[in-house]
Amino acid sequence: MTHSRSDALVLFGVTGDLAHKMIFPALYAMVKRGNLNIPVIGVAFPAWSLDRVHKRVTDSIRRSSGGIDRRALNRLLSLIQYVSGDYNDPATFAKIKTALGKARCPAYYLAIPPALFGTVIQGLGAAKLAEHGRVIVEKPFGRDLSSARELNRIARSVFPEDSIFRIDHFLGKEAIMNILYFRFANSFLEPIWNRNYIASVQITLAEDFGVKDRGAFYETAGCLRDVIQNHLFQIVALLAMEAPSSRNYGAVQSEKAKVFKAMRPLKSDDVVRGQYAGYRMEPGVAKDSDVETFCALRLLVDSWRWEGVPWYLRSGKYLADTATEILVELKPPPQKLFADSASSTERSNYLRFRLSPDAAIALAARVKLAGEEFTGEPRELFLSEEQTGAETPYERLLSDAMKGDGALFTREDSVEAAWAVVETVLKTHHRALPYKRGSWGPKAADALIAKDGGWHNP
């Protein structure tokens, strides 16, 4: 077990898209903040020169930031080395060992296709490169319960659990972290944060664009695997968990794991799958594809706090907007003292967390209008807004992993428990229903939530 700060970063897949779009800008930001001064060893198959790698990094920074801080960029480039080789070849790992020099606590970032995770982890183990090291693995961690178990088995055969960092960039977002803070830094929520006062919870992650050039990838994943089983389940865990005994890695992870284990396994009637018009024409997509680009589901958490409270989750491509919101609907007052509140069909008591594109927390309540009549209208009390200068998710997660802080990462038991919830419906499900681009998905998704007042559209 090691909590030393990493003294080198080995980036597998350095020539790939993820490195170009997300990781290089994060490393550049870390250099600007003075948080990165260790060797960065890029590893990939192409026989590139170091100069070509530097040009790739420079292009990434130019595209991602308004103006380039030349001093910071030169500092980053001075840290970067390059090792070319096949991940199946022990000679590649021998070259990595040479490049690491005196580094004793390296962090290995696997920004590579999931099919190669096991190969690289076993290669690190065989080359005796894992001792005192950490491995950072990009999602998806498995594609079902059995593959997640196998990947966990391979990872645990080489690294101890507290040295395995399963990265989900979603958890590094400021607004996601604010859920945890808001829940447990304020005393007024706790008395009502349970089945006695909360009628339902709904979470929407909507995108107004399609699969773009990722059709072939989407054919292997679909919305349930790509978004709901990881991103949205993580939000459920943060909203549903009990208070951890402290903010350390183990305490937070243990409470989240209990939520995943308490989730009732889904059945086919709990899930509505949709596919946007024209998806089958996208490059890399089968002409008879049944892959879902939209998914809505009704989930129950069988715990003392949440017994009987439905959780509605939905996500999709080519929906009416790009936004992520949570709506926690409160039960109405026990006595209908005012006629207008009794007849009102509009939502009036709820907590709303807006996670993107801008962050906000709002509390809704009915307020009396001026005059003698006891009539009112719902108003929102706006509680929070976006903060400037926040770290990007990848910057925060990379920094945390290199420090050995696992609070924002996912633990082995949580990964397997989350896959167990969706295991049945991955194999047995209704066909994907067509929906128009720019809509909120197929009509069947509305029927799923009809008895709880319908969807709140961000």
Given the residues 20, 169, 231, 429, select the one marked as catalytic: 231
* Cα gap 142→23, rounded to integer Å: 22
DSSP 53-70: HHHHHHHHHHHHSSS--H
Structure tokens, 354: 């807006």
Find the helix or strand (DSSP H, E) in which 436 lies. none
Whether residue 385 contacts residue 391, with contact meaning beta carbons closer than 8 Å, is answered with no
Q: Which residue's structure tokens are 């799958």?
A: 273
What are the C-alpha distances in Å from 171 to residues 69, 74, 130, 291, 358? 28, 30, 26, 26, 16
For 137, phi then psi, to 5°, come to: -115, 130
DSSP class of 356: E
Question: Could you report how far apart the first and last alpha carbons of the chain are, in Å?
Answer: 44
Question: Is 231 a known active-site residue?
Answer: yes
* Cα gap 165→408, rounded to integer Å: 9
DSSP 3-state percent helix, strand, coil across the chain (nearest 5): 40, 20, 40
Whether residue 124 contacts residue 93, with contact meaning beta carbons closer than 8 Å, is answered with yes
Residues acting as catalytic residues: 231
